[in-house]
Structure 1
C-alpha cells in the first residue's frame, strides 16, 4: 500500500473526491421533481424570492440550502440537488473523522467511510432535494467535533459541535434529541473522565451547548423576517414554533409506503421515490439499505455493546450507543405515520459500528474478513446501482430484478 494512504489527510481527500464524483454523476436525471421534492423545491423557491411562507411544517434551513443551490446553479434539477451532494460528502467525511478520533486508525476510519458510502441511503439522499441529508450531515459532523473537543481546543470544538447541532435542528426537529444526547454524553463522560474536554467544566460545557444550539436554531429563521407576505417578527417567532408542532403531530391519512419503526432495520418496507417513464426511459429510485451493511451492522452493534458490557470499552460502547439512541427515539416520537427514510441517520451509524467491531474483533485468522465484507457491500452497491441512480431500465417490469421480497414492490 502506498505510504500516503497511511496518512489521514490524503485518505480524507480521496474519500471526498470519490464521494462527490459518485454523488454528482448524472445528478440532472430525473429532470422532474421526485417524491418529497414536490414540497421542498417550491418552498426553496419561495425563500429564494423572499415571497411568503411555504411548507411551514419544518424549519427553514434545509429549504434555504436547497435555495442556495438554485441560486448557484439555476432552478433546474442540478440546482435543486447540488448542495445535497455536498451534504452527502460531508456525511461520509464525518464518519471518517469520528472513527479516526475514536481509534486513531486510518484503515478503520476509511473502512467505516466506505461502508457509509456503499450503504445506498447516503447515495440516494445525496441526489435528492430533501431535508434528511442536510440534517444528518450536521449531526454526524457535530459528533466528530464533539470528539475532537475531548482533547484539542475543547472550548472551540465544543462550540462548533453545539453550533452544528443547532443547525441540524434548524433543518428538522428530528435532530433535537441529539442535543439532549450530547449533553448527557458530556455529563457522563466528564464525570467519569475529568481529563476529557480539559479546561471545560460541566456547567460551562452544558451552558455553551444550550445557549449556542438554541441561538443558532433561531438564527436559521432569519430569511422569514424578510418575506414580502406574512413575514416573521420577534413577536411571532415563538408562536410559529407551536404552529410547526401542531403540523408535525397532526394525524395523516394512510400512505402507500408507511411503515412501523420496528420494521426499518429488517428492510421490510423501503420506498420507491420514483418508478415511471421519464427522460425517455423507464427509471426508478428505491430508497433501501445495503443488506450487507444494514443487517451486518445490527450484528456489529450487538458486538460493540457486548464489548462495553464485558470490558467497559467506552469507544465501542459509544459506537453502539450512536445507533441505539438514534433508532430508539423513533419508538417515542409522536408521529401518526412512519417511513423508512426516518431510519436514515441510524443507517449511517451502522457503518460506524461495523468499522468499530472490525477494529476490535477481526484479528488473526479473521484479519482479512473486513476486506471481504467491504467487497460484498461494494458488489451489492454495483448490483443495485441502476435503481438507486435513476438509470435507464429495459422495461416497466425491470424492478423485479431488484425486489427481493414482495414488500419491496
Structure 2
C-alpha cells in the first residue's frame, strides 16, 4: 500500500497561493448541495410525463431516438404520418419506413434520449423525457459543487444550486426532450472537469516546487512536469459528447481549450519559472491540444457507430458511386460518405431562414425579450378542468426574470474584475457565457430562438452568485458588514424562488384562467 506523505508547510503555502484557501467542510457541502439537488429533481420529475404528447421540437428528437433503437440510425417517418402526437399517444411507434432519415444534428444527444425510451418505453412521455430530467437534476449538483470550488465557499455553492434549481428556462428544458439540455449538461461537465484539473495540476505544481526548494534546487529555470492530467481528458470526453449532440459545442471546445492553457500560463508564472510562457504554450499547450483533440474527435466519431454499421443510414454508401480524387484515395469510403453527409448537414442548417412566430434576435436573449412558447392550448369552460369561460394551458420557456436581469449587471462586474483585477473566476465565467452566446450573432440571418441560451444558463447563475459573494463580503469582514450582505443576498435568493413559483403554472402546463395567464405575460413580446 502506497504511503501518502502529508504536504509540507511550504507546499501548503504554495497551494494557497496558487489555488486559494483550503476547503474543509466537504461532507457538509455534499449534504447541503445534495439536498437542494434532491428538491430540484423532485420538481423536475413531478408529472414530467404531462402533457402526454410531443411538444415543440420533441416531434423530431423523440422519433429519432426510437429510430436509433430500432435500426441504429434515424429513420424516415412513413408518408402517412402527419400528426406530431397521434402515433405515440396511442401507444405505437410503428411510424417509420426502413430508409435512413436526413438529419441536421449528430446522433449522441438522440442516443441519450433513446436511453430513457429504452428504459421506460418509447411510447411513454416519461421515457422520452427521462434523460433530460435526469441531466437537469444532476446539473444542479454539478453547478453547486463547482461554484463552491471556484468561490471557496460552501454557502455560495448552495446559493448557486438554489438559483439553478429555481431557474425557469433551465426548468422547462429539464422537462422537454430537446437536444439543448443535453448539450448544456456535457458542456457543464467539461467546465467542472477543467476547474478540477486546474486545482489538481496546481496542487501538484506546488508540491513539486516545494520539494525542489527543500532540496536547495532552483525552480525558476527548467520546467516542472505535471504528468498525466486525467481531469483534462475527462473534459475532452465531455466536449466530444457535446459536439456529438450539437455542433455548437465546438465553440466551447475552442474556448475551454484556450482557457485551460491560460490557467497553465498563470500557474507557471506564479511559481516563478523564468520560461513560463514557453513552457505553458509549447509544452503544456501542445500536449493539451493533441490529447484533447484526439479524444474529442474519437468520441465524436464513436457517436456515429450505428451509422457506420448500417446499410440504410442516410448517404451511407455515397462514396460507392463517387470515386475519390487520387489525392484522397487513401480515405476509407465510409469516412468520405460521412464527410459528404456533414457538408449536406451544414448546408441544410445554414438554409433554415423561414420566419417563425417565436424566432428571436440574440440581442434580446439576456433580457428575455422573446421567450419560446413550447406548448399552448386554450380550453373553454368544462374542458380539462377549466371552471371559467376561457383558460390557458401553456409551457413557456421564460427564464426567471429577476435572475436574468441581474445577470446582465453581474456580467459587467465580472468583466471589470477580470480585466482590472485578473480574477480567473470572473474570466472563466465570462468566457463560458461568451462561448455559448456570441457565436449566434454570426447567424442572424438564420431562424434562431431564445431557448438556445439554455447552454449558458449555468454560467449566468455563476455570475450572479459571484456578485452575491461580493455583496456578502469576505469572511474576515465585520459582523455588521456580513450580516447586511447576507440579508441582501438572502432576500434576492428568496425573491428568485418566489418568481419561479409565480411562473410555475406556465412552466408546467397547468390549466389556469386566461386572465391569470395574461398576468404572467409581462410584455407583449412574451405572447
Q: Is the TM value for this pair above 0.5? A: yes
Assess if the C-alpha contact under 8 Å between 1:90 and 1:141 holds in 2: no
What are the ranges of 5 or more consecutive residues in structure 1 without an aligned counterpart? none
Q: Does 1:65 align with 2:184?
A: no
Assess if the C-alpha contact under 8 Å between 1:301 and 1:323 holds in 2: no
Mapped to 2, the partners of 1:107 and 1:172 lie a distance apart of 34
Offset of 1:101 from its aligned partner? Answer: 1.9
Mapped to 2, the partners of 1:6 and 1:304 lie a distance apart of 30
For 1:274, the equivalent position in structure 2 comes to 375
For residue 509 of structure 2, give the secondary structure of its aligned residue in structure 1: coil
For 1:165, the equivalent position in structure 2 comes to 239
| Farther off after superposition, 89-98 or 239-248 | 89-98
Assess if the C-alpha contact under 8 Å between 1:302 and 1:320 holds in 2: no
How many aligned positions are there?
Answer: 405
Mapped to 1, the partners of 2:251 and 2:25 lie a distance apart of 39
Offset of 1:406 from its aligned partner? Answer: 0.8
Mapped to 1, the partners of 2:247 and 2:178 lie a distance apart of 14
Mapped to 2, the partners of 1:335 and 1:146 lie a distance apart of 34
Q: Does 1:11 align with 2:58?
A: no
For 2:66, the equivalent position in structure 1 comes to 45
For residue 108 of structure 1, give the secondary structure of its aligned residue in structure 2: helix
Offset of 1:67 from its aligned partner? Answer: 1.1
Assess if the C-alpha contact under 8 Å between 1:322 and 1:349 holds in 2: yes
Assess if the C-alpha contact under 8 Å between 1:6 and 1:106 holds in 2: no
For residue 275 of structure 1, give the secondary structure of its aligned residue in structure 2: strand
| Farther off after superposition, 80-89 or 146-155 | 146-155
Offset of 1:5 from its aligned partner? Answer: 9.2
Q: 1:367 aligns with which of 472, 482, 486?
A: 486
Mapped to 1, the partners of 2:131 and 2:305 lie a distance apart of 20
Mapped to 1, the partners of 2:353 and 2:449 lie a distance apart of 12
Offset of 1:4 from its aligned partner? Answer: 8.0
Q: Report matched runs for 1:209-248 at 5 Å.
A: 209-227=292-310, 229-230=312-313, 232=316, 233-248=334-349
Ranges of 4+ aligned residues in structure 1 off by more than 6 Å: 3-6
Mapped to 2, the partners of 1:346 and 1:273 lie a distance apart of 19
Q: Which of the two has greater helix per residue?
A: 1
Give the structure with higher Rg (CA): 2
Mapped to 1, the partners of 2:188 and 2:145 lie a distance apart of 9
Q: 1:201 aligns with which of 284, 294, 306?
A: 284
| Farther off after superposition, 212-221 or 320-329 | 320-329
Q: 1:83 aligns with which of 122, 128, 131?
A: 131
Mapped to 2, the partners of 1:148 and 1:333 lie a distance apart of 33
Mapped to 2, the partners of 1:379 and 1:351 lie a distance apart of 16
Assess if the C-alpha contact under 8 Å between 1:47 and 1:224 holds in 2: no
Assess if the C-alpha contact under 8 Å between 1:249 and 1:334 holds in 2: no
Mapped to 2, the partners of 1:54 and 1:334 lie a distance apart of 27
Assess if the C-alpha contact under 8 Å between 2:62 and 2:128 holds in 1: yes
After superposition, give the CA deviation of every residue in 1:205-246 in whole Å (9 maximum; x if it has no partner).
121111111111111111223445236433422222212111
What are the ranges of 5 or more consecutive residues in structure 2 without an aligned counterpart? 1-23, 76-99, 202-227, 272-278, 317-333, 386-391, 474-480
Offset of 1:296 from its aligned partner? Answer: 0.6
After superposition, give the CA deviation of every residue in 1:122-151 in whole Å (9 maximum; x if it has no partner).
110010110000000000110000010113
Mapped to 1, the partners of 2:112 and 2:501 lie a distance apart of 30
For 1:54, the equivalent position in structure 2 comes to 101
Mapped to 2, the partners of 1:5 and 1:22 lie a distance apart of 26
Mapped to 2, the partners of 1:290 and 1:404 lie a distance apart of 12
Mapped to 2, the partners of 1:16 and 1:54 lie a distance apart of 38
Higher RCO (CA 8 Å, separation ≥ 6 residues): 1
Q: Please, what TM-score do these two structures have when normalized by structure 1?
A: 0.93
| Farther off after superposition, 42-51 or 160-169 | 42-51
Assess if the C-alpha contact under 8 Å between 1:121 and 1:344 holds in 2: yes
For 2:57, the equivalent position in structure 1 comes to 36
Offset of 1:320 from its aligned partner? Answer: 2.7
Q: Please, what TM-score do these two structures have when normalized by structure 2?
A: 0.73
Alpha carbon RMSD of aligned pairs, Å?
2.3
Assess if the C-alpha contact under 8 Å between 1:42 and 1:54 holds in 2: no
After superposition, give the CA deviation of every residue in 1:176-209 in whole Å (9 maximum; x if it has no partner).
100000111122221222279x998222112111
The structure-2 alpha-carbon separation of the partners of 1:308 and 1:230, relative to structure 1 and needing over 3 Å to count, comes to closer
For 1:136, the equivalent position in structure 2 comes to 184
For residue 152 of structure 1, give the secondary structure of its aligned residue in structure 2: helix
Mapped to 2, the partners of 1:384 and 1:106 lie a distance apart of 29
For residue 394 of structure 2, give the secondary structure of its aligned residue in structure 1: strand
